[in-house]
Chain A
């Protein structure tokens, strides 16, 4: 039992800082995305409100707060009200296990720069990601409208399919880190990031997380041209803003988790001497990874639905199983022969395995284009 009230205070402050950082991050991520997308499409983007349009998120928030909220007459009222909340809460709660740095000395006491270091951190991430599906599904169902329903169904099928490869692509990380605690995984990457040891795993994880957060090119659940707005078609005002918020917070958190699993988390030059540099490195890594997400959205068109399913089940799942086998074999060889050079068989074999689906898909697409011509 914890009776130390300062510990409670520390937890409370850390949780509050985390939540406000996510809220602020959400607001300015929308600005970042709109500006970056505009640059890539040779537009200007929002630049009217304040210097460089920096007040645009605040203006948007004010607009959304004062908009009228509509509830469809035949909606299932309680679930309709509950769905945005179920969507937002997991997107914040995931951040609890993300380590942002080692411990620092603040006001004369040791403060760990993470909220919780639980020994099943990776599984916690998977569990909360699994719960996050419900908000979208229920929003689609409770709206009692065809478009919303189709969006909800699509997102269920998609998230279930890609959650598999998401989970399996984390097993190499657990094997390499020899732990399920996120802090241990980061500390194991001191010197060599896991992205170099398991590049294919990083790519699979990246693709699967894009599908999990319904980002382009996996934004089938809210495909504007086909479903108006998909699962949140009937939502307006603050309820719509909550869905929006959940999507962008999930982007931030998932980039943070990717940084932890594959890009060395808070590690970087000089972090041993100045532990406060940890959050700075985390911020830079998240910023770069977010740019990757925006870049993908600006570049790739949306998947066709049957191809999305085929890709998930026939390419990603077998490939992620293969890299689990390759990673385990490499670690075993390195242990048995006492020669750490065997670890380098992991990336080599993984890339060879990864080329198989790439070449297959490329040839299938080429055959298709010949048939059309």
Chain B
């Protein structure tokens, strides 16, 4: 067993355990912390695939910014403890049914559509080159300029929408 494989197995174990912990934990703050751990593990996966840029962005954006906002809202609303009783009685069987469906679909696609492992791994020389970031920038702003702009407009719309919603609420209260 190579070192990479051992690392991968260990990380996979941590990722699955933290994901499960997030679902099972009764305290919302602990759930959020498990999710942070999960994000950091995914970032280490990216490092393992020799993609340091995406790994750092993953930590900065997801673990750093988004999850801190989650924690902020949870603490501000004081929503740490969930009520013990089930709110929706049909929720559990539906969730189980849907997740079984999802797993079946994923397994089917994995079996029928998967390519040999060699193609999935990134070409290490291209990714590890010092010009990695420049290559990424050129790809984003030259080859994929239109999708990039569309995504940024989408984010802008979401931001403006959030501001509009909160503004209205404040006016109504006055």
Interface residues of B in 44-67 (CB under 8 A from A): 52-53, 56-57, 59-60, 63-65
Asked whether, in the complex, the Cβ of A180 is within 8 Å of the Cβ of B59, the reply is: no
> Does more than half of chain B's interface fall in helix, strand or loop, or is it mixed?
helix
Contact of B133 among A120, A129, A133 (CB under 8 A): A120
Minimum distance in angstroms from B78 CB to a CB of chain A = 9
Q: Say whether B156 faces chain A, with CB atoms less than 8 Å apart.
A: no
Asked whether, in the complex, the Cβ of A156 is within 8 Å of the Cβ of B71, the reply is: yes
Asked whether, in the complex, the Cβ of B75 is within 8 Å of the Cβ of A163, the reply is: no
Asked whether, in the complex, the Cβ of B56 is within 8 Å of the Cβ of A160, the reply is: no
The closest CB in chain A to the CB of B76 belongs to A153
Interface residues of B in 122-142 (CB under 8 A from A): 130, 132-133
Q: Say whether A157 faces chain B, with CB atoms less than 8 Å apart.
A: yes
Contact of A130 among B33, B59, B130, B133 (CB under 8 A): B59
Question: How many B residues have CB within 8 A of the partner chain?
Answer: 22
Question: How many A residues have CB within 8 A of the partner chain?
Answer: 31
> Does more than half of chain A's interface fall in helix, strand or loop, or is it mixed?
helix
Q: Give the docked Cα–Cα distance between A332 and B133 (Å).
A: 19
In the complex, the number of residue pairs spanning A and B with C-beta atoms less than 8 Å apart equals 71
The closest CB in chain A to the CB of B69 belongs to A160
Q: Say whether A152 faces chain B, with CB atoms less than 8 Å apart.
A: yes
Minimum distance in angstroms from A186 CB to a CB of chain B = 16
Q: Say whether A149 faces chain B, with CB atoms less than 8 Å apart.
A: yes
Given the complex, which residues of A lie within 8 Å of B76, measured CB to CB? 153
Q: Say whether B19 faces chain A, with CB atoms less than 8 Å apart.
A: no
Given the complex, which residues of B lie within 8 Å of A160, measured CB to CB? 65, 68-69, 72
Asked whether, in the complex, the Cβ of B59 is within 8 Å of the Cβ of A127, the reply is: yes
Given the complex, which residues of A lie within 8 Å of B133, measured CB to CB? 119-120, 180
Q: List 7 A-B contacts (CB under 8 A).
A: A120-B52, A123-B56, A126-B60, A129-B64, A130-B68, A137-B68, A160-B69
Residues of B within 8 A of A (CB): 3, 29, 33, 36, 52-53, 56-57, 59-60, 63-65, 68-69, 71-72, 75-76, 130, 132-133
Sample of 8 more A-B contacts, CB < 8 Å, known A120-B56, A138-B33, A141-B29: A126-B60, A126-B64, A127-B64, A129-B64, A130-B59, A153-B75, A153-B76, A157-B72
